[in-house]
Amino acid sequence: MLGLDVYNGSKSQLQDFRRVTGVTFPLLLQAGRAFPRTLGVDHTLVVDRKGIIRHIGIRRPASITATAARIRELLRVPPPAIKLSKPSLDFGEDVPVGLSRTLTLVVHNTGGESLYISNIQSDLEEITINTTEVSVAAGDSARVAITFTPAETGPFSGTLTILSDDPENRSITVVVSGAVIVVPVNPRADFDGDGKIDFGDFIAFAQAFDSDNPTFDLDGSGLVDFADFLEFARNFGKSVP
């Protein structure tokens, strides 16, 4: 809320005004000791939404013009402003080849108007983005899922480019990096011995789940449980050399 008030009373009078109207600007709470004693009925105070005095003027043409300009400035709604949760995305040094890893990028709008993101793209073919176009209300944020699915091993680097209607940042670049490794195949997950860990092995594992069958107890804990399932899932789809 924008306040425009004239200092034309004592501290007690202003406190009475606050009590009757419900206005809680600090200028009314601090009246009598917050202002110079020279303020009087000819002075005008412009107060911002937080109750902070932004302008003191007098009732003369030039001062009134300055007061009006200050009011217009305070009433102006700031444009959208994009801010990212992180300047870069590091997928780590252990991304398994052939498997996906997803990171989340949070886009904040710190401006006063709605932010429109028109496109999000990457120069890496292995990158997929769950949404490339989104509107973010003033003061709100949006989560964007960035997924990397490598086909080859080794280090990688690239960029994400985010286009928006932020007048100060029409285009923002986010660095993407990491390394892809080969995760060794656990031959024990090939339960039927056909050289490939596939759906047939999954059926056999599912039937043995929650038992103490040592064939399917991949982590040697004495029980076929969720930890064994995770180990099986890590090897699913791979061939045994």
Do 170 and 106 sit in the same domain of this protein?
Answer: yes
Do 97 and 145 sit in the same domain of this protein?
Answer: yes
CATH of the domain at 110: 2.60.40.10
Do 69 and 106 sit in the same domain of this protein?
Answer: no
Do 172 and 86 sit in the same domain of this protein?
Answer: yes
Do 172 and 92 sit in the same domain of this protein?
Answer: yes
Do 172 and 215 sit in the same domain of this protein?
Answer: no
Do 94 and 28 sit in the same domain of this protein?
Answer: no
Q: Is residue 68 part of a domain?
A: yes
Do 218 and 169 sit in the same domain of this protein?
Answer: no
pLDDT at 234: 85
Q: Is residue 133 part of a domain?
A: yes
Q: The pTM is what?
A: 0.58
Which tens digits make up the pLDDT trace of 170-207? 999 999 999 999 888 899 999 999 999 999 999 999 99
Do 145 and 203 sit in the same domain of this protein?
Answer: no
Q: What's the 3-state SS for the chain? A: CCEEEECCCCHHHHHHHHHHHCCCCHHHHCCCCCCCCCCCCCEEEEECCCCCEEEEEECCHHHHHHHHHHHHHHHCCCCCCEEECCCEEECCCCEECCCCEEEEEEEEECCCCCEEEEEEEECCCCEEECCCCEEECCCCEEEEEEEECCCCCEEEEEEEEEEECCCCCCEEEEEEEEEEECCCCCHHHCCCCCCECCHHHHHHHHHHCCCCCCCCCCCCCCCCCHHHHHHHHHHCCCECC
| Structural domain containing residue 95 | 82-181
Which tens digits make up the pLDDT trace of 64-75? 777 777 777 777
User: Could you tell me the pLDDT band of residue 237, with boundaries at 50, 70 and 90?
Assistant: confident
Do 96 and 61 sit in the same domain of this protein?
Answer: no
Which tens digits make up the pLDDT trace of 88-132? 999 999 998 888 999 999 999 999 899 999 999 999 999 999 999
> Structural domain tally of the chain?
3
Do 48 and 119 sit in the same domain of this protein?
Answer: no
Do 165 and 111 sit in the same domain of this protein?
Answer: yes
Q: Is residue 240 part of a domain?
A: no
CATH of the domain at 215: 1.10.1330
